[in-house]
Amino acid sequence: MFAQNDNMFYFDRVALNIADLIEHAVDAVPDRVAVICGDRRVTFAELEARANRLAHHLAAHGVSRGSHVGVYAKNSIETVEAMIAAYKLRAVAVNVNYRYVHPELRHLFTDADLVALVHERQYADKVAGVLPETPKVKHVVVIDDGSGADYSGYGGVDYETALAEGSPDRDFGERSADDLYILYTGGTTGYPKGVLWRHEDIWRALGGGINFVTGEYVADEWTLSEQGKAGCLVRLPAAPLIHGAAQWAAFGALFTGSPVVFVPRFDAHDVWRAVQDHSVQVLTIVGDAMARPLIEAYAEGSYDASSLVAVSSHAALFSQSVKQEFLRTLPHVVITDAIGASESGFTGIGMVSKDADHSAGPRVSFGKDAVLLDELGRRVEPSAGAVGLIARRGHVPLGYYNDPEKSKTIFVELDGVRYVVPGDYARYEADGTVTLLGRGSQCVNTGGEKVYPEEVEGALKSHPDVFDALVFGIPDDRLGQRVAAVIEPRPGRPLDFPAIESHARAEIAGYKVPRTWWVADEIGRSPSGKPDYPWACRYAGEHEPAFGAKG
């Protein structure tokens, strides 16, 4: 059965699928600009034709339904095209953090079962190092970023050459709302884990398939593209596309026919120049790590931000003091704070009011599917002062890819309803809102990046001069938290902190390496040998750091 819509024919079905939703926007506004990055831009029609070409090239090299394709690049038009190309084939695009070093890349390539990779040329040396250990990766496409790095040793295909070999036609088969989406995020040991979603579920949770204010579901797969015909908002996601916050800010915009502006790598002045040059209306950021440098850069420059109507923070601490500075500096702009996680999707949103309590954590109104549960999995009644773990039902992920045991730890069933419980605590307030209190685990959230102490401790203790170590987070004005460590040296070994730091950077990504260090004669642990993190925090409060950033 077919239906007609403005001379476009489509199957009478509901395929709430990322690729379908992109295609509907292309059909609605083909000549509108879709993506801008630097001095380059593509229309919706051009974006699709290029994504189709790459999809056909990948298909010719064995990528098909269910295949996993790594995308290892900074923000660019090609990054968006590569992700769309995978979804068009009913394959899965897998985000690869460009900060990762060899052990982390090896783990992700293996854990994610990658069969193909699209990467920027500047990472050729890292790719060359990891490919011999990840034999499932059979095909590599290389985006030329001007770095000149050599990728001939593993037979990478130049990106534009790959596009030239592929057809621009949209001649793919039907897709399904059950097609899979994976977002890799930090795991319990620090190694990345893939959160596995159905396309419909992630769209409902993060991509605009629900009205975040009213809680009403979008009626069908054409609603957003039809709305886009009437008008659009130019959006700039400032975070890297390796993060879900940026991916879904971008996809949500494209589904509605809205142009998306990127800066290749976060620089506060570059962001304001892009806002000014492209009349950006909606700016999405990740907490204070972006908000502080942005507001400082705005004060330093003479930027025109009159086009801006909204700034929204996702995925990390957006402190009240910084919010108030935004309101004072940009009084015409609406400031919002959204909470959620890769494992749960959107949980709640708050509108920032002038002169709010600076001591309070993020305060939001829950989405309709969010509740608080106690530690026994029972629902917490919404009375003022009641504290519990944030839980979300409805459209939630299937679990962690390749890790059923870990999946069991974040899902609970209550009265026959399945909830995802990522581990964040919150408190009900008298007005019905909730205040986010933070994660119950020892995870350090530094500028939106998750850092797990055990992984960093392992890297530190692999240095010959380090006997023991505990890693934890301490407050940081810009990053929300920064990584800190207490080290117990081996007897008779003087600590060379720059050498230890350099050693750690070879084992883990740079953002995970401690920035403030203490030295102790003996690390505090329980009788069973479990780490005593409260002891580490107390010790840090009572002693001056031995090395690194202070204050």
Tell me, what's the pLDDT at 493?
87
Q: By residue range, what is the domain housing residue 467?
A: 444-548
67, 89 contact by CB (below 8 A): yes
- Dist CA 46 CA 168 (whole Å): 9
Residue with tokens 């034999």: 135
The span from the CA of 399 to the CA of 91, in Å, is 18
Give the domain CATH number at 515. Answer: 3.30.300.30
Q: Does residue 11 carry a pLDDT above 60?
A: no
pLDDT at 527 over 60: no
Tell me the C-alpha distance between 119 and 101, whole Å.
15
Examine residue 354 and state whether it is found in any structural domain, yes or no.
Answer: no
Looking at the domain assignment, is residue 172 inside a domain?
no
Is 357 a domain residue? no
Main-chain phi, psi angles of 11, to 5 degrees: -65, 140
Asked, for residue 161, whether it belongs to a domain, the answer is no
Mean of per-residue pLDDT scores for the chain? 89
pLDDT tens sequence across 374-418: 988 899 999 998 988 999 999 999 999 999 998 998 888 888 999
Residue 453 lies in a domain: yes
What sign does the CA torsion over 475, 480, 482, 483 have?
positive
How many domains, in total, are found in the chain? 1
Question: Higher-confidence residue: 24 or 493?
Answer: 24
Residue 175 CA, distance from chain mean position: 25
Query: What local confidence, expressed as pLDDT, does residue 186 receive?
Result: 66
Other Cβ atoms less than 10 A from the Cβ of 85: the count is: 32
* Assigned domain for 221 exists: no
For the segment 217-230, the average pLDDT, to the nearest whole number, is 92
- The pLDDT of residue 5: 40
- Asked whether residue 123 is assigned to any structural domain, the reply reads no
* pLDDT tens digit sequence for 165-204: 999 999 999 999 999 999 998 643 457 899 999 999 999 9
- 423 pLDDT tier (thresholds 50, 70, 90): confident
**Phi, psi angles (nearest 5°) of residue 177:** -65, -15
Answer whether residue 499 is part of any domain: yes
Residue identified by tokens 């036609």 is 169
Q: What is the pLDDT of residue 351?
A: 81
pLDDT value for 289: 75
What is the arithmetic mean of pLDDT over 493-502? 94
* Token reading at 366: 């829950």
Q: What is the pLDDT of residue 188?
A: 39
Which whole number is the average pLDDT over 273-278? Answer: 98
Handedness of CA 247, 248, 250, 256 (dihedral sign): positive
Residue showing tokens 């108030």: 324
Q: How confident is the model at residue 23 (pLDDT cuts 50, 70, 90)?
A: very high
Residue 2 has pLDDT above 70, yes or no: no
For residue 143, pLDDT beyond 90:
yes
Model pLDDT for residues 26-59, shown as the tens digit of each residue: 999 999 999 999 999 999 999 999 999 999 999 9
pLDDT of residue 317: 58
- Of the two residues 436 and 221, the one the predictor is more confident about is 221
What average pLDDT does the segment 329-351 reach? Answer: 87
Model pLDDT, residue 443: 78
